[in-house]
Amino acid sequence: MKKLVLTEQERVFRTPRMEGVRVTYSTSEGEKVLTHTIIRSKASVAVICRKDGKIAFIRQFRSTTGEYYMEIPAGLLEEGETEQQAAVREVREESGLLVHAEVLVKGPSLLDPSKSDENYGVCIADVYGAKGQVLDEMEQIDEAMMWLEEQEVHSRLLMQLQGKPFDEENNLFLSGHSVYALMAYFFMK
């Protein structure tokens, strides 16, 4: 295995959530081996919200595909936040639920290291109340949530892994971070 060293990097674009960077890696002898454009992102957390043996799901529009997905609440950690603090904040913003959260999976958990360095943590959150959504300008999330028994979530997750929609009635699939978090949740149980 060759030892590769980052020798060049150039920002291609920047948004509030991420930046595109063209990176070049070379051997320790200086031979350029690889140039690739990657997305650098802040760390994220995906949150499994539970209440009375059920898990909450939201319907969120994703502009990258122009489609809605079933998802568990998730989002980027803000400067200085822990995964637990971000989990509580993101759940409140996206679903309106008030929760107590604990970390289930701590990184590094890169969903697609060929494109992005976004590190996902996973939290479990127990619901104790609700107030109402507080969405930011880049989010389009339905107010109505879907609550499913854990066994039903497990069955639907298996269906999606076979290419069928998680929500067959609305032909909606789970997002990748939701699949990852739920698989970790069921594996850790």
Is pLDDT at 138 greater than 80 in this prediction?
no
Superfamily of domain 44-188: Nucleoside Triphosphate Pyrophosphohydrolase (3.90.79.10)
pLDDT digits (tens, 9 = 90+) for 94-106: 999 999 999 999 7
**Can you tell me the mean pLDDT for 63-80?**
92
Tell me the mean pLDDT in the region 86-98: 94
Residue 54: the pLDDT is 97
Cα 60 to Cα 19, 110, 143: the distances in Å are: 23, 22, 10
Instruction: Copy the structure tokens of residue 103.
Output: 């970390």
Confidence at residue 169, expressed as pLDDT on a 0 to 100 scale: 94
Strand partners, 103: 123
Please enumerate in sequence order all residues whose Cβ is within 8 A of that of 82, keeping only pairs 6 or more positions apart, or say none. Answer: none
pLDDT average, residue stretch 122-143: 84
Which pLDDT score is estimated for 111? 78
The residue length of the chain stands at: 189
Element (H, E) at 146: strand 146-149
Q: Is 5 in a helix, a strand, or coil?
A: strand
Q: What is the mean pLDDT of the chain?
A: 91
**Distance in angstroms (rounded) separating the CA atoms of residues 59 and 172:** 9
**134: confidence class by pLDDT, cuts 50, 70, 90:** confident
Output the pLDDT for position 28: 86
For residues 51 and 167, what is the distance between their CA atoms, to the nearest angstrom? 20
Q: 35-71 b/e with 16+ CB inside 10 Å = b?
A: eeebbeebbbbbbbbbeeebbbbbbbeeeeeeebbbb
pLDDT at res. 69: 94
Residue 68 to residues 50, 65, 113, 131, Cα–Cα distance (Å): 22, 8, 24, 24
> Within the chain, which residue ranges are assigned CATH 3.90.79.10?
44-188
Comparison of pLDDT for 8 and 16, the residue scoring more: 8
Task: State the pTM of this model.
Answer: 0.87
The two tokens of residue 21 are 């960077």
Give the whole-number percent of the chain exceeding pLDDT 90. 70
Two tokens, residue 2: 């060759």
Contacts of 170 (CB under 8 A, 6+ apart): 59, 68
Q: What's the CA angle centered on 151, arms 100 and 112, to 5 degrees?
A: 70
Average pLDDT over residues 39-63: 93
Could you tell me which residues come within 8 angstroms of residue 113 by beta carbon, excluding any fewer than 6 positions away?
none
Looking at residue 6, its pLDDT comes to 93
pLDDT at 114: 84
What are 145-173's pLDDT values in tens digits? 899 999 999 999 999 999 999 999 999 99
